[in-house]
């Protein structure tokens, strides 16, 4: 429970949008890969949450290179 709370409240990626379960646990992402629906799930989440979506506690998905460049630059600096 503590790890789930950390991923939602204190993790460095906490500011990025996504479904609560996907942001807190890797299980939905693992199930998506297992079903072979990762691309479809990511597309659906981007339609709902925008160009940057948190797909797991440690993984972001981008729809444009501009969004990626802006976030990657912030991580490096």
Residue 77's pLDDT is 40
Q: What is the DSSP letter of 51?
A: S
pTM score of the predicted model: 0.77
> What band does 1 get if pLDDT is binned at 50, 70 and 90?
confident
Domain count, the chain: 1
Residue 21's pLDDT is 92
Give the model confidence (pLDDT) of 44-74 as tens digits: 999 999 999 999 998 989 888 776 665 555 4
Domain that holds residue 54: 2-76
Over residues 11-17, mean pLDDT: 90
**Closest alpha carbon to 45 in 69, 21, 65, 27:** 21
Is pLDDT of 76 > 60?
no
User: Do residues 56 and 29 touch, judged by C-beta distance below 8 A?
Assistant: yes
């Amino acid at each position: 429970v503590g790890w789930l709370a950390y991923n939602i409240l204190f993790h460095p990626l906490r500011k990025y949008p996504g479904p609560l379960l996907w942001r807190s646990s890797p299980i939905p992402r693992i199930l998506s890969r297992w079903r072979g629906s990762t691309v479809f799930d990511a597309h659906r989440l981007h339609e709902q949450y925008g160009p940057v979506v948190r797909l797991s506690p440690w993984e972001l998905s981008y729809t444009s290179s501009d969004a990626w460049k802006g976030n990657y630059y912030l991580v490096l600096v």
